[in-house]
Amino acid sequence: MNISLFKSKLLPVFSILFLFIFWKLPLDIDYFEIILATLFIFLVSYIEFKSKFLKSLGFQKRDFTLNTLLIKAPLYAVGLFVLYYFVLVPGTTYLTKQPIDFSTFDTIKNNPTLLIISLAFIWISAAFGEEIVWRGYFMKQFAKLFGEGKLSISLNIILFGILFGMLHSYQGITGQIVTGILGATLSFIFYKHKYNLWLNIAIHGFFDSIAILLFYFELL
């Protein structure tokens, strides 16, 4: 078998299929699944791209700026959260007649120790982990295999938005739909900003931090 073909075409396909099978296994390790998935993505990306594997995922030095991390990202995060809180959640709940299941986060309420741990963990697992796996690897590999035409990019964003939502089944059908829309929106931002993974990581981190703080104060 041609080594180049294996690394550039077959390895990404097998890796993506493997991760979806891995996520469906009854391992009961919660957010550690995405951390293990991230380490796996680092490995397969290194096999394909060697020393440039971080760049292949969207980690560009030119994008690691204060403007990106502390101005653009918080503004995007606040805008997304306003959309989430005032439009997506009530609108989707109205259609499904089922509220989002937030019971997973009940233990955070009025628990300052768990709040700090949760904030640290969501930046590691959700912000870094999910963005590296879903945007940095899945989305870029899809674009590499199928091109960046309008149809391809549209399918890319929609497909991984749907799958991203489906893997948040612990939030119920409403949570899956809302999370899928948010995932697609993050994918669109990633594409429009020329695969700037630093920006997506920061947006995701700030968005989830707002949510965690609202859970803590029992406002969500």
Confidence (pLDDT) at 2 = 67
Rg (CA), the chain: 17
What percent of the chain has a predicted confidence (pLDDT) above 90?
A: 86
Mean of the per-residue pLDDT values for the chain? 94
Residue 207: the pLDDT is: 98
pLDDT, mean of residues 104-126 = 93
pLDDT tens, residue by residue, 6-40:
888 899 999 999 999 999 888 777 778 999 999 99
Q: What is the pLDDT of residue 28?
A: 77
- State the Cα torsion 8-11-16-20 to the nearest 10°: 180
Q: Is the pLDDT of residue 168 over 70?
A: yes
Determine the pLDDT at residue 1.
54
Percent of the chain with pLDDT over 70: 99
| pTM to 2 decimal places | 0.94
For 63, residues 6+ apart whose C-beta sits below 8 A from its C-beta are: 196, 197, 198, 199
Q: What are phi and psi of 38, to 5 degrees?
A: -65, -45
